[in-house]
Structure 1
Amino acid sequence: MKNTSARGLARARWVPGNRVSLLENGEEFFPRVFEAVRRAQREVLVETFILYEDKVGTQLHACLCEAARRGVRVDLLVDGFGSPDLSDAFVEEMASAGVRLRVFDPGHSILGQRLNLLRRMHRKIVVVDDACAFVGGINFSADQLLDFGATAKQDYAVELNGPIVQLIHRFAARAVAADKKKAQQGARSHRPAPPERQQEGSGHATGHARAGEAEVCLVTRDNWRHTNDIERHYRVAIRSARQRVVIANAYFFPGYRLIQDMRNAARRGVDVRLILQGEPDIPIVRVAARMLYHHLLLAGVSIFEYCERPMHAKVALTDDCWSTVGSSNLDPLSLALNLEANVVVHDPAFNRALSERLEHMNRNCKRIGAADLDKWSSWRLVRSFVVFHLLRWYPSWIAWLPRHAPRVTPLGR
């Protein structure tokens, strides 16, 4: 059952009649996206944090250029921090083909260091012909493929068909608006109309036939009006859980309230499981997460570290119906700074599919127990005290960081 009891969630509109297909890693994601682009007849919209000029990026490049040459309107938005090194030839070929490439908040490096780290466009969205959409955590880079080797990332996305696609299309189209003034206004006031507002008064999207049984809500976060929507959906789901909560998240350092919701769920008998990185691509990630382990284990939360390769997942499920897949980590960047997009799905069949994939991944995890943690010491007590209060107050003080209106800058001709 859906629960929108948290303040502010009452406005959310759940769109019925959708088909949601889970895609694991680049092996499943890239072929579906590229085939959809090849079939496109009118429009392709792509938002991605990372686009590299490797075998994946060049294949996307070729697909987008081919689509643009046959008359399809193609818009591509990349992040200035995540995709800083696109060559002139790569950009100019897209521009010549008719692809409209824009960069969110481009920045310049100083002594090789990129300084535009904060408030990134971290979403990963593809919409084709207002007919199918892809949302998740997978970037367009070769390290999302298993043949990349030991540092290949474990990750997930979804393909969506049905009425929800119209809302995702409307959101993405505003974000990559061709008019620069409109794009800047959207950055200031989040004019990429939140899906909740787009649906108010209509109940659900129109003009799209039912494609399945899933109810879906697109949930985004920005730095203005929707600063904690994704976190609130997580919290409502955890507080409503009666049997299980499974969270697989790459960068885990959430706020105090979400931690407390997890602890309270475990204490009332819910099977709460965390699957985190055991072989992180950024070493400090594991150090930060482990600061919370004692606090969680004492409440009965089960913690597993995925050790096969870096885990880049941002997925969760509760009980037998609620699931979410998207771009948002449970850390300060995603929860309080970055522009993110998740889909929340109410569908028992999708919940089972995601559960099966996570159970398979869990077999390659190490369960963390008290013996795996550092012994108590004066230093650890001080550190735990600092971390506790950092988690409790960071949503308040992080809002004081600069909230400039990021530029959306066209590249090429």
Structure 2
Amino acid sequence: MNEVWRDGNRVELLINGEGFYPSVYQAIEDARREVLLETFILRDDKVGRGLRQVLIDAARRGVRVDVIADGYGTPDLDASFLGGLLDAGVRLHLFDPQPRRLGMRTNLFRRLHRKHVVVDGAVAFVGGINFCADHLADFGPMAKQDYAVRIEGPGVQDIRRACLEVLRPAPHLESSDMPAADAVHPGGPAGPCRTCLAIRDNLHRRTEIEQHYLRAIARARERLLIANAYFFPGYRLLRALRDAAKRGVTVRLILQGLPDMPLVRLCSKLLYDTLLRDGVEIYEYRDRPLHGKVAVMDRHWATVGSSNLDPLSLSLNLEGNLMIEDEAFASALDDHLERLAADSCRRVTRQYARRGYWWRAPLVFLSFHFLRHFPAIAGQLPAHRQMLHPARIDEEPGQSQVQP
């Protein structure tokens, strides 16, 4: 496991779009040299337009701006949205964009699911929040509950390097057009937090995030809280959670109760009885769709990032999670999740979990084993090179949109 821990960081928890977007926009407004931004989804709504404006302003005052958006998560941006970015000098890259087949997108797997922002090598953001309005409460009942962190200190350089690693193989970028490794100067110590950026890619770091989870679960002695939107882990994580509960650790899972993707919740429910019978506590968050990917162990270790505990995130997507060792940060996140469980969740009982179990048992078996082998199956499909393409405006009438 490629594990590098950095001392001397300041880490701030940002909750939902209300906490995340103003902090990101302010950092970009203060940028003087460089903005690197990765996102799965960028939409032409009030959040996307707010980001667009601060990026344009930064580029016009001479800041180098590179935006990497996933070609599947961000399929269509029209010319009016895109034109101002390109005219100002913003470099917009699409990750692994594949052509449509029969009107359908083909790059369903191996997506750039990370959400990273790095400004001047001095401040960075890591989390699960996309740039779209459904992360704001005024979106309505289906607004997402989600998390990110703002980090200052030596750990920022690891996030910057991760962004450059995605940019470096881009065929449309000459080496002379790449951001220089020494274009920014690392900042000194900024706070008490020890951090480690864990990356999941399809090259050399395929299990890094899962290994961090397994290690934290194995080391837990008192309590473990995990809030995860799309929960369907494999054997090792399930066994680790059950073993922790059996040795007396309080293991609490906060999962979706108001799903944005009902099929995903159904998959999670297939595992409920297996976990509950060994003492794992399960809570379903009912206020809004849970989109978070966070965990806390023994009030001194925590993680915030983009990785779900499901086959896509653990075996196929490009993901990024920040691991944090700091008692104050972990305790604050622990307190927040406990309030969430107490005030906004329904605790799942075995009686509820076993309703209809007689007909669901074969489905549990078949689904679990299919999804366990799904990454290997999907890995045989073609056209999954980790490649970037520049965005352009399609000039055909009625077809103006982002195209690879």
User: Could you give the per-residue CA deviations for residues 65-120 of structure 1, whole angstroms, max 9, x where no partner exists?
Assistant: 00000000000010111011111222121111010111011233345432211110
CA separation in 1, counterparts of 2:383 and 2:333?
36
CA RMSD of aligned residues (A): 2.3
Q: CA deviation at 1:20?
A: 0.5
- Could you say which residue in structure 2 is the equivalent of 1:95? 86
Contact 2:172 2:389 in 1 (8 A): no
- Could you say which residue in structure 2 is the equivalent of 1:375? 355
- Could you say which residue in structure 2 is the equivalent of 1:187? none
Given the superposition, is the C-alpha separation of residues 207 and 302 from structure 1 closer, same or farther in structure 2, using an over 3 Å criterion? Answer: same
CA separation in 2, counterparts of 1:48 and 1:19?
23
- Could you say which residue in structure 2 is the equivalent of 1:37? 28
Amino acid at match of 1:214: C
CA separation in 2, counterparts of 1:115 and 1:130?
35
Given the superposition, is the C-alpha separation of residues 182 and 296 from structure 1 closer, same or farther in structure 2, using an over 3 Å criterion? Answer: farther
List aligned pairs for 1:52-201, cutoff 5 A.
Answer: 52-177=43-168, 180=171
- Could you say which residue in structure 2 is the equivalent of 1:237? 216
- Could you say which residue in structure 2 is the equivalent of 1:343? 322
SS at match of 1:245: strand
SS at match of 1:238: helix
In the alignment, structure 1 residue 277 sits paired with structure 2 residue 266: no
Amino acid at match of 1:162: G
Q: CA deviation at 1:373?
A: 2.2
SS at match of 1:212: coil
Q: CA deviation at 1:360?
A: 2.2
Contact 1:336 1:398 in 2 (8 A): no
SS at match of 1:91: helix
Q: Which moved more, 1:206-215 or 1:86-95?
A: 206-215
Contact 1:177 1:183 in 2 (8 A): no
CA separation in 2, counterparts of 1:345 and 1:231?
15
Contact 2:98 2:105 in 1 (8 A): yes
Identity %: 51
Q: CA deviation at 1:403?
A: 7.0
- Could you say which residue in structure 1 is the equivalent of 2:396? none
Q: CA deviation at 1:257?
A: 0.7
CA separation in 2, counterparts of 1:262 and 1:247?
10
Q: CA deviation at 1:402?
A: 4.4
List aligned pairs for 1:350-361, cutoff 5 A.
Answer: 350-361=329-340
User: Could you give the per-residue CA deviations for residues 31-87 of structure 1, whole angstroms, max 9, x where no partner exists?
Assistant: 000000001000001000000000000010000000000000000010111011111
Q: CA deviation at 1:359?
A: 1.7
Q: CA deviation at 1:148?
A: 0.5
SS at match of 1:170: helix
Amino acid at match of 2:360: R
CA separation in 2, counterparts of 1:90 and 1:257?
45
Contact 1:46 1:125 in 2 (8 A): yes
Amino acid at match of 1:46: L
SS at match of 2:188: coil
Amino acid at match of 1:383: L
List aligned pairs for 1:229-378, cutoff 5 A.
Answer: 229-362=208-341, 363-375=343-355, 378=358
Contact 1:176 1:183 in 2 (8 A): no
Contact 1:161 1:211 in 2 (8 A): yes
Given the superposition, is the C-alpha separation of residues 257 and 399 from structure 1 closer, same or farther in structure 2, using an over 3 Å criterion? Answer: farther
Q: How many residues align?
A: 386
In the alignment, structure 1 residue 51 sits paired with structure 2 residue 31: no
SS at match of 1:81: coil
Q: CA deviation at 1:222?
A: 0.8
Q: CA deviation at 1:150?
A: 0.3
Q: Which runs of 5+ in 1 are unaligned?
A: 1-7, 185-191, 193-197, 199-205
CA separation in 2, counterparts of 1:121 and 1:179?
14
Q: Which runs of 5+ in 2 are unaligned?
A: 394-404
CA separation in 2, counterparts of 1:359 and 1:329?
20
Q: CA deviation at 1:380?
A: 2.5
SS at match of 2:369: helix
CA separation in 2, counterparts of 1:20 and 1:403?
38
Amino acid at match of 2:202: N
Amino acid at match of 2:369: H
**TM-score of the superposed pair, with normalisation by structure 2:** 0.90
User: Could you give the per-residue CA deviations for residues 243-297 of structure 1, whole angstroms, max 9, x where no partner exists?
Assistant: 0111000000011110000000000000000000001101101100000001000
CA separation in 1, counterparts of 2:132 and 2:57?
20
CA separation in 2, counterparts of 1:359 and 1:112?
45
Given the superposition, is the C-alpha separation of residues 24 and 356 from structure 1 closer, same or farther in structure 2, using an over 3 Å criterion? Answer: same
Contact 2:170 2:389 in 1 (8 A): no
SS at match of 1:210: coil
Contact 1:256 1:388 in 2 (8 A): no
CA separation in 2, counterparts of 1:140 and 1:410?
19
SS at match of 2:205: coil
Contact 2:312 2:375 in 1 (8 A): no
Contact 2:170 2:387 in 1 (8 A): no
CA separation in 2, counterparts of 1:371 and 1:378?
13
Q: CA deviation at 1:391?
A: 5.7
**TM-score of the superposed pair, with normalisation by structure 1:** 0.89
List aligned pairs for 1:198-237, cutoff 5 A.
Answer: 207-237=186-216
CA separation in 1, counterparts of 2:360 and 2:169?
52
User: Could you give the per-residue CA deviations for residues 214-255 of structure 1, whole angstroms, max 9, x where no partner exists?
Assistant: 110011011121111101110110011000111000000011
CA separation in 2, counterparts of 1:161 and 1:257?
34
CA separation in 1, counterparts of 2:299 and 2:370?
34
